[in-house]
Amino acid sequence: MTTQLPGTLADRVRGQVLRAGDEGYEEARHVYNAMIDAHPEVVVRCAGTDDVAATVRYAVERGRPLAVRGGGHSVPGFGTADDAVVVDLSLMQSVDVDPEARTATAGGGTTWGRFNDATAASGLATTGGIISTTGLGGLTLGGGIGYLCRGHGLSCDNLLSAEVVTADGSVLRADTDEHADLFWALRGGGGNFGVVTSMTYRLHPVDTIYGGPMFFELADAPAVLAFYREFIQDAPREYGGFPAFQIAPPLPFVPEDRVGDTFLALISCWTGSAAEGERVVDRFRQVAQPVAEHVGEMPYPALNSAFDPLLPPGLQHYWKAAFVTELTDDAIAAHMEHGSRVPVVSSTMHLYPINGAVHDVAPDGTAFGHRDATFAAVIVGAWPDPADDEAHIRWVKDYYAAIAPHSQPGGYVNFLSADDQPKVVENYGANYQRLREVKRAYDPGNAFHLNQNIRP
């Protein structure tokens, strides 16, 4: 039996405590996905690790659902829930870069934009997401796929240590020496094990990159995808680009009469010299001539925020995802059928390559479940009007049903929707049993269950 500590939650924490009726509660109860309309009991904007520990204890003592929110980007809206106690980490944003050691330590609520800007000042970076407002926490704990992963592994492969508040309110350090089992589980196992209040990452020399988008006619898409399939098998690790189905937004490099048309986009990122990058990217121009392109040298954080305007907070979101070993001709045909029908400019399908350095780590080296996959496909449904929910969800589901026979069972936990919970065993494959053991050791009561949940 847990004993309730005296005093209100507001007495126990330094940060903001927001309940229904309080100024700021309305904003604080919402997350990035506008489809989520939950009313938590309380949102605690924690000011530090001590606040996180006090809030976790409060929720566990009272048996309330405990939601953890970093950047708030979870598509299923795991960062909030009806009647929940929300640990909101948005005030815990900090980045301390050690350029000599090539490491950076970030607060648990830090976003990738902030992190990339801080490390770029020293010409350094690590693998992160392609949108600047995504949180380090959720992204890294689920694995972390981005432009740099062929060269430097997943975000979680670059995690050196973490400070974690566990379900009993203890503050632990996890790395390869201390709580090594917890550290293993944190690298891919999502938010199942505790609240990560600080993370230290390995950094790599990445400064100006060569890259950007090229838009190819749909008629050329099968040839470009078939070329990409061969190219990416042994492409230099400096290359980290991906194909996407994309409606052309009204950007200066898009011919006016082609705005609104659907293309196969190739978004390239090359971290070697610009001259080499030009030669590599030019190989795609030999396959088909792009209708529009904006490829050149730019700071790495600029590419990593290029998609921001297409995906502002407040859209409706429904996503599905799959791991792919071989991009067969049949799979390309399925992509052509459904990708060509992408309904709005904010919806898309991205086919991220996850070979290269991601495959250097043993399949059981971290909890991330699919080191054998070559690609992680994500079908992003994102649209403005709730009245259109049914049609857009249908597009995502039909697209997923068409590629599923050409994909592995299970998907990347960070790209899945709430109705994908039954896939949890397949998401982790052979690592699932060990994850359960770690869950039993650190969270036997499943206090951290608002996630793609690993039951103890």
Ligand X SMILES: Cc1cc2nc3c(=O)[nH]c(=O)nc-3n(C[C@H](O)[C@H](O)[C@H](O)COP(=O)(O)OP(=O)(O)OC[C@H]3O[C@@H](n4cnc5c(N)ncnc54)[C@H](O)[C@@H]3O)c2cc1C
Stretch that binds ligand X, among 128-136, 174-182, 357-365, 432-440 (CB under 6 A): 128-136
Q: Return the amino acid letter for 141.
A: L
CB under 6 A: which stretch of 54-62, 131-139, 202-210, 224-232 binds ligand X? Answer: 131-139
The DSSP bridge pattern shows strands 208-216 and 296-299 to be antiparallel
Is 406 a binder of ligand X (CB under 6 A)? no
In the region spanning residues 161 to 180, those forming contacts with ligand X, defined by CB under 6 A, are: none
Q: Please name the residues in contact with 137: beta carbons below 8 A apart, sequence gap of 6 or more.
A: 68, 70, 71, 89, 108, 109, 110, 191, 196, 199
- Using CB under 6 A, which of 144, 241, 277, 429 touches ligand X? 144
Q: Is 71 in the site for ligand X (CB under 6 A)?
A: yes
Shortest spacing between CB 109 and ligand X, in angstroms: 7
424 binds ligand X (CB under 6 A): no
Q: How many CB atoms lie within 10 A of CB 100?
A: 7
| Stretch (H or E) spanning 106 | strand 103-107
Q: How far from 332 is each of 216, 329, 425, CA to CA, in Å?
A: 15, 5, 27
Q: Using the minimum distance from each CB to ligand X, give the nearer residue, 288 or 417.
A: 417
410: left (phi over 0), alpha (psi -120 to 50) or beta: left
Tell me: does residue 240 bind ligand X (CB under 6 A).
no
Structure tokens belonging to residue 92: 């815990």
Residue closer to ligand X (CB basis): 118 or 130 = 130
43 binds ligand X (CB under 6 A): no
Q: Which 98-117 positions form the footprint of ligand X (CB under 6 A)? A: 108
Phi and psi, residue 266, nearest 5°: -120, 120
Q: Are 117 and 301 in contact (CB under 8 A)?
A: yes
Give residues with Cβ within 8 angstroms of 87, minimum separation 6.
Answer: 44, 46, 52, 55, 56, 59, 66, 67, 68, 69, 195
The residues, ordered by sequence, that sit 6+ positions from 376 with a Cβ below 8 Å of its Cβ are 145, 321, 322, 323, 324, 351, 352, 354, 370, 411, 412, 415
Q: Is 191 in the site for ligand X (CB under 6 A)?
A: yes
Nearest approach, Cβ of residue 217 and ligand X (Å):
26
Smallest distance, ligand X to C-beta of residue 286, A: 28
Instruction: Judge whether 401 and 353 are in contact, CB under 8 Å.
Output: no
Q: How far is the CB of 129 from ligand X (least distance, A)?
A: 3
What is the DSSP secondary structure assignment for residue 63, as one 8-state letter? Answer: T
Which one-letter amino acid corresponds to residue 167? A
The answer to the question of residue 148 lying near ligand X (CB under 6 A) is no
Backbone angles phi, psi at 222, to 5 degrees: -60, -40
Nearer to ligand X, 139 or 403 (CB): 139
Smallest distance, ligand X to C-beta of residue 367, A: 13
Q: Candidates 74, 200, 262, 346: give the one binding ligand X (CB under 6 A).
A: 74
243 binds ligand X (CB under 6 A): no
Q: How far is the CB of 140 from ligand X (least distance, A)?
A: 8
Window 266-325: residues binding ligand X (CB under 6 A): 311
User: With CB under 6 A, what is the number of residues at the site for ligand X?
Assistant: 36
Binding span for ligand X by CB under 6 A among 96-104, 125-133, 325-333, 436-444: 125-133
List of residues contacting ligand X (CB under 6 A): 31-32, 68-75, 78-79, 89, 108, 129-131, 134-135, 137-139, 141-142, 144-146, 190-191, 195-196, 311, 414-415, 450-451
